[in-house]
Amino acid sequence: MSIYDSIGGAGAVQAAVELFYTRVLADPRLEHFFAGVDLQRLKSHQRAFIAAALGGPQLFDGRDMATAHAGLNITGDDFDAVVGHLAGTLAELGVPAEEIGRIAAVLTPLRSQIVSARELAG
């Protein structure tokens, strides 16, 4: 069974994305990244990305992670804060710790594509 199916499919992904962005936008360390961003469009992309990353049936046809995050100067601390919000969101929605760990294992390799190359080199 895919991670997508084990957490409840599309409904669970929808709930997770909504709660995740509520948490992220309330975080003063992260809110500036979303100024002027079309949040409905971003949430749609996020739902498709998460569903695809977790083995769901949706196809993600958005930009690659490096392109989507280029120029945002995202630090390792920023990345860790977002991952923390995602883990907290999933825990709040009742996703078992084992599944959160499986999800983290899928997303952790994206760090090198999202964190600013300048910071990774430094």
Phi, psi of 44 (to 5 degrees): -60, -45
Domain total in the chain: 1
- pLDDT, mean over the chain: 87
| Domain ranges, residue 85 | 3-121
**Domain CATH for 24:** 1.10.490.10
Q: Do the Cβ atoms of 45 and 63 come closer than 8 Å? A: no
The predicted-structure confidence for 67-109, as pLDDT tens digits, reads as follows: 888 888 999 999 999 999 999 998 998 888 988 888 888 888 8
Q: What is the pTM of this model?
A: 0.83
